[in-house]
Structure 1
């Protein structure tokens, strides 16, 4: 069996500074503008290697740079929902969280006429309602949770947890989770945000980490997904883009490796692992199917 590799790019632009960091300083917000400089470079790289990419785009970014979003679409790459302005869903009540989903969908449709089937939460934050809301909107998959590394699973609803009682696992639902990890994200490795993130790592350090993660998955997780998260305003710097070029060549040199969008991978994985069959498979995340509530 093969290992699939998903090259994913969170095209946050100014929204991450406005939403996550609540910045109103023109200098800090301007850091996001480099994302629009970097995306064409990334698209050229993907085109050179004939590789698909997945671009996770907030609605705010789509309205700021509709021509770039159209180019992403026109060159055959996947576009997923990434919030409205990189907001934390847990900061809103249910009506507010749904309104942000609506605004993101409307902006992506206005900019490029797309209706994403995938979702990635800004900064990978969830509320206790997020999975149910994603189901209501008909999303096929999410890529925000961290319950595995290279092995997809069906998400759960209604988990209950505190520091005094045993963890309660809720039922799995028909939303495929493509797990993520901060170690597989370029932002904490490379970015500098005072009093928050002190990255600025050498690209060779990150290249070593990602290559070793890839080699582990390649040797041990047949059929898995190597899911790496990058941000154009981060990875698009010259020395980091050179690192990405080297990584692509390394990944392509391994036997049995394919490159896929997250959406295409999910379609194949879901066909091979329908929910009822998966629940009987003994997967660790299928807690409700293991009768744990009845112990």
Structure 2
């Protein structure tokens, strides 16, 4: 167990920004069930209604979110499932053409990584990377396991396969570099618990306003810490099949507009933030 002797030294963001804001969009596909209605499905058998709910993502949700990002002049990171990339190469091209990052997010997003299947995890990483590269034009440099559920081997696979960053962690407010053997890997910890449509809106069945309220309270607190000299990072996350629906899109746009009215905000894709941290901390990092 590592001993933590005190808070981390503050980091310096580009342009002396007080806070970094990332937008993350999950573009996923499923084998048995999506995010809605899966509780009634029998194990190992498809829930056809739930899968139809998930199909809203490529049919409608992605395009609505893409339009919103374009209108607000934002570049996002899309967490992409390999099966989704294989089925929809035209969507992958649209991501690339509009300046968005495509990160790996497992093969099928209702199948989680297991410590008992090392070969299956590596196969998923490689197949997903290849499917993304086929449509997007290059392999991903970032990876988030489905549900952020990695294994004891995930970090080693990351450096072996040439990834820059990984998101299977929730131990910090800020990214940091972890040395895996002799190689550095940027960890972008999961900070979007209060700004995640699945966690805040869909599963607890909160009103859509809960998404904005959780974001605003978190943003305001971190923005003030940045004003005092300790810049932080916040992430807004939508799933194409959930947040891409008209119920939540106006709330998402309200959050974006709130941030864009503030001074000292750096909007960054995750790969841009990760590269900044790698350049800052480098392979000498001890964390």
Normalising by structure 1, report the TM-score. 0.81
Q: Which residue of 2 aligns with 1:292?
A: none
Q: Which structure 1 residue ranges, 5 or more long, are not aligned?
A: 158-170, 192-197, 280-285, 287-295
Deviations 1:119-170, CA, capped at 9 Å, x for gaps? 1111010111111111110101011210012x1122366xxxxxxxxxxxxx
Question: Greater helix percent: which structure?
Answer: 1
Question: Could you give the per-residue CA deviations for residues 57-108 of structure 1, whole angstroms, max 9, x where no partner exists?
Answer: 0110011211111111111100001111122111652211111111101211
Counterparts of 1:173 and 1:219, CA distance in 2: 35
Query: What do residues 249-290 of structure 1 show as CA deviations (whole Å, max 9, x unaligned)?
Result: 1011111002110001111222122232x43xxxxxx3xxxx
Alpha-carbon deviations, 1:212-240, whole Å to 9, x = none?
11111211144432123221111111121
8 Å CA contact 1:15, 1:61 repeated in 2: no
Deviation at 1:54, TM superposition (A): 0.5
> Counterpart of 2:214?
209
Partners in 2 of 1:268 and 1:214 — Cα distance? 21
List aligned pairs for 1:2-151, cutoff 5 A. Answer: 2=17, 3-14=19-30, 17=33, 24-36=46-58, 37-86=60-109, 87-90=111-114, 92-149=116-173, 151=174
TM-score by length of structure 2 reads 0.84
Aligned to 1:178: 188
**Distance change >3 Å, CA 34–CA 18, structure 1 → 2:** closer
Q: Comparing 81-90 with 8-17, which one deviates more in the overlay?
A: 8-17
Partners of 1:238 and 1:29 lie apart in 2 by 19
Say whether 1:251 aligns with 2:251: no
Gaps of at least 5 residues in structure 2 are 1-15, 39-43
Aligned to 1:166: none
Whole-angstrom distance in 2 between the partners of 1:59 and 1:231: 15
Measure the CA separation in 2 of the matches of 1:119 and 1:79: 9
SS of 2:24's equivalent? Answer: strand
Residues in 1 aligned to 2:231 and 2:183: alpha-carbon distance in whole angstroms: 22
| Residue matched to 1:163 | none
Matches within 5 A, 1:222-233: 222-233=230-241
Q: Distance in 1 between matches of 2:168 and 2:32?
A: 16
Measure how far apart 1:15 and its partner are: 5.2
State the 1:16 CA deviation.
Answer: 7.9
Question: Which of the residues 265, 268, 279 maps onto 2:276?
Answer: 268
Q: What SS does structure 1 have at the residue aligned with 2:247?
A: helix
| Alignment-derived partner of residue 194 in structure 1 | none
